[in-house]
């Protein structure tokens, strides 16, 4: 069953640049600023609780076109409360999120100052 979608003009696509995601969505979300329709395009989801296939299915992944993406806000889970290392284990499934690359710096188009970074992860499960 396809989820309810807000009224949007035909042909509308949500395709923000990396800089736009950080400046217009992530920073505002972190500051508690309301962003109209953002909860539809960038969902809150604990990526460490469910398997990726369950997340994909429950957030409308099967209804996306091949060139569409899903976007999520999630809180990172630290290995130790005072540490900086991230625990990437997923629930009790035995799987983990594994980094695929070293990451890429995201810079502001105007000032060329680093405002964030982007890194790809894949889900791996033993066996």
pLDDT for 5 equals: 59
Predicted pLDDT at 1: 41
Domains and CATH numbers, the chain: 18-125 (2.170.150.80)
- pLDDT on residue 12: 81
Angstrom distance (rounded) from CA 85 to CA 76? 10
Q: How far is CA 103 from the centre of its chain?
A: 15
Assigned token pair, 13? 């696509």
- Cα(50)–Cα(40) distance, rounded to whole angstroms? 20
Of the candidates 27, 30, 29, 20, the one whose C-alpha atom is nearest the C-alpha of residue 109 is 20
User: The whole model's pTM is what?
Assistant: 0.77
Intra-chain end-to-end CA distance of the chain, in Å: 32
pLDDT averages per 10-residue partition of the chain, 127 residues: 62 90 93 89 91 90 86 90 90 87 91 93 86
d(C-alpha 114, C-alpha 11), whole Å:
33
pLDDT at position 3, please? Answer: 53
């Amino acid at each position: 069953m396809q989820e309810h979608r807000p009224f949007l003009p035909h042909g509308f696509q949500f395709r923000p640049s990396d800089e736009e995601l950080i400046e217009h969505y992530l920073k505002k979300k972190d500051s508690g600023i309301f962003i109209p329709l953002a909860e539809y395009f960038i969902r809150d989801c604990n990526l460490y609780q469910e398997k990726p296939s369950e997340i994909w299915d429950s957030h409308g992944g099967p209804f996306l076109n091949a060139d569409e993406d899903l976007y999520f806000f999630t809180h990172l889970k630290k290995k130790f409360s005072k540490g900086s290392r991230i625990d990437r284990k997923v629930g009790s499934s035995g799987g983990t999120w594994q980094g695929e690359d070293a990451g890429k710096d995201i810079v502001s188009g105007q000032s060329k100052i680093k405002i964030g970074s982007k890194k790809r992860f894949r889900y791996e499960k033993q066996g």
